[in-house]
Structure 1
Amino acid sequence: MDHSQNPQVLRAPRVRPGDRVRIVAPASPPSREEVARGVELLTSWGLRVELGEHVFDQWGYMAGRDEDRVFDLNAAFRDPGVRAVIAARGGKGAYRIVDDLDTDALRRDPKPVVGFSDITHLHLAVWSRCRLAGLHGPFAKSRDTYTGPASAESLRRALMTTDPVTLHRDASEATADVAVDGTATGILMGGNLSAIRTEAGAGLPSLRGAILFLEHQRGTGLGEVDRALTQLTRSGALDGLRGVALGQFLGFDRDADDPTLGGWGIRDVLHDRLAALGVPVLGGLPAGHGSHPPTIPLGTPATLDTAGGTLTVQPAVV
């Protein structure tokens, strides 16, 4: 579906002091210390924090069995007193439970889902089935060197205010030199590249008329990024895009010293694959798996401006 022709977006009410929010673990298991810091942070904002029944379960590399992780999600979706659902961490496993999400409950009673990395699978599923805006945001923690005060404040504003979010190009990011000049407007969608690739042909919603946000953390190298972008292009998933916003692609620094790569680095792969789309591309956005990540609305109108080096996104809450 072309989002430019169907701009309707479902937004949840903003979270207010005194509201209940619930921390769940849809993917890998968090540590008790991490969750305790999250509870402390959210409580400091005047929120009443609850934990899903299976947050501290572990089954292999996942936070409990599939049926238990999706139980916690759906219990939060169905509880009218819960006003936001916050993932405790990413990792692995959210892709196993997306088919069993009660998105009808979210359509009846909208509430934002917060998370990133493997939680991209949930964001894509929720948007695909009920057009509910979500938040690509860090896992809530207080006194954390990775998150930090600025990151925590970004999450608070995205949950509890209706201010738009503007990201500025950072010349120090590995993707900063990837650019195709122009401006674009459209619904911002996306998140982690590996998750988006995994959903292609299964749960990936149409990206026609959208701006696609991408971030990635190095796995098997440049070839992994090349394969993912090529698969998305060949499958037609990128047809009709309005623009691409590139966040952090981390861990590729050592590629410059690898003689088998012919002098290519991550910026070369990204430019080679994305320039062919013929849409504006803005690199260098400081969002992804790096330190102090901002919170970014997903599923709302956005404007990408390569000349100004900005991505401005409308709020996910009202």
Structure 2
Amino acid sequence: MITPSYPPKPVPGDRIAVISPSGGLPGVLPLPYELGLRRLREDYGLEPVEYPTTRTMGATPQARADDIHAAFADPEVKAVIASIGGSDQITVLPLLDREVLRAHPKPFFGMSDNTNLLLYLRNAGIVGYHGASVMAELGRPGAMHPQTADSLRAALFTSGAYELRPAERWRDTARDWADPATFEAEPETRPGTGWTWLNADQVVEGRSWGGCLEIIAWLLMADREISHDLSDYDGQVLFLETSEEMPSGEEVFHTLRNMGERGLLQRFSALLMGRPKTWDFLRPHTPEEAARYAAAQRTAVQRALDAYAPGLLTVFDVDLGHTDPQLVIPYGGTVRVDGPARRITVTY
């Protein structure tokens, strides 16, 4: 496995490509998208550049692959960000030209279904950034969460160490993006509960690997972008999170169990488990139901770890993935997990 390198960073005034590798949801729900574009311009000083499929629902995998190639190959574009996630980016991967991306390394920002492209870039030797899509994070009603905004700014423009900190206030509920009233006020948040540490008598440092658990499961099933030389994963830091599809505790256990049966789970030196998404429009859990769902997921993760990776340094409820605030994780970049000090530091 190639050790990924950090691509050059943009500076304010540069152009940033906005692409939709999974689906052109900006064309259906323009309000959070336009707000996200405005914040890229006004808050970060970057000039967004759109491509043919950025706002096109139903674009073919080839058309989306073409946009990825064009965004990376354009010498005037200094970074790339996804508009949103989706569910079929895996069909784009076989159409990508790894040499085109490798010849034009750029920071790529995305999460959820964009785990596909992040892993593809990692395997091409390029550090990406898990987090901060245009619609969900930059297009947050009222204002960006300050912790998300600060993490994104550091990941975009700086190259040093950055300490992740537990959320003081957080949420995983949402309001209707099609309703203009949604964007007139800050979303409701609840007090932070901190992170939970297991086997925290260790300090580990390694390159990160992982992303959205459901996407990792699909990639494993398709045998795509996963190394067959399991020693490639020795000592790396695994980070995982679950999406608004809210897989059951049993589904989470089965995925981790199968990673263990493959011999993969036990290779990592630490696990950062994102705070689970516990609410969706299709499943609007009460606070009590949400708490039970989160507890069931934690039990499932612990069950798999007990069977395949006992003693693994693990941190639960890290503010990454489908939660707000969302801390950016350098995908393939360096992560240091200091158990005794209860500190997580990433290198952007």
Q: TM-score higher than 0.5 here?
A: yes
What's the counterpart of residue 160 of structure 1?
Answer: 157
What's the counterpart of residue 52 of structure 1?
Answer: 51
What's the counterpart of residue 179 of structure 2?
Answer: none
Report the residue type matching 2:298 in the other structure. R
Q: Is the 8 A contact 1:179 1:281 kept in 2?
A: yes
Give RMSD over aligned pairs: 2.6
1:209 equivalent to 2:235? Answer yes
Could you say what secondary structure the match of 1:265 adopts? helix
Q: Is the 8 A contact 2:206 2:236 kept in 1?
A: yes
Q: Deviations over 1:47-97 (max 9, x none)?
A: 2211111111112xxxx2211111111111111211111000012121111
**Distance in 1 of aligned mates of 2:194 and 2:90:** 27
What's the counterpart of residue 302 of structure 1?
Answer: 335
**Distance in 2 of aligned mates of 1:22 and 1:87:** 8
Q: Is the 8 A contact 2:276 2:317 kept in 1?
A: no
Report the residue type matching 2:319 in the other structure. P
**Distance in 2 of aligned mates of 1:247 and 1:240:** 19
1:228 equivalent to 2:228? Answer no
**Distance in 1 of aligned mates of 2:38 and 2:139:** 6
- The one of 167, 189, 213 equivalent to 2:209 is 189
Q: Is the 8 A contact 1:245 1:311 kept in 2?
A: no
Q: Is the 8 A contact 1:114 1:135 kept in 2?
A: yes
Q: 1:73 to 1:242 in 2, by over 3 A?
A: same
Shift of 1:147: 4.1
Moved more, 119-128 or 27-36: 27-36
Could you say what secondary structure the match of 2:48 adopts? strand
**Distance in 1 of aligned mates of 2:35 and 2:318:** 27
**Distance in 2 of aligned mates of 1:126 and 1:291:** 25
**Distance in 1 of aligned mates of 2:61 and 2:11:** 31
Q: Is the 8 A contact 1:178 1:270 kept in 2?
A: no
**Distance in 1 of aligned mates of 2:193 and 2:298:** 7
Unaligned 5+ segments in structure 2 are: 169-190, 280-287
Could you say what secondary structure the match of 2:267 adopts? coil
Could you say what secondary structure the match of 1:283 adopts? strand
**Distance in 2 of aligned mates of 1:25 and 1:225:** 27
What's the counterpart of residue 296 of structure 2?
Answer: 265
What's the counterpart of residue 15 of structure 1?
Answer: 10
Kindly report which structure 2 residues correspond to 1:118-157, keeping only aligned pairs within 5 A, or say none. Answer: 118-128=113-123, 130-140=124-134, 141-142=138-139, 144-145=141-142, 147-157=144-154
What percentage of residue pairs aligned between the two structures are identical? 27
**Distance in 2 of aligned mates of 1:292 and 1:245:** 16
What's the counterpart of residue 261 of structure 1?
Answer: none
**Distance in 2 of aligned mates of 1:18 and 1:257:** 46
Shift of 1:169: 4.7
The TM-score normalised by the length of structure 1 is: 0.86
What's the counterpart of residue 77 of structure 2?
Answer: 82
Report the residue type matching 2:151 in the other structure. S
Could you say what secondary structure the match of 1:132 adopts? coil
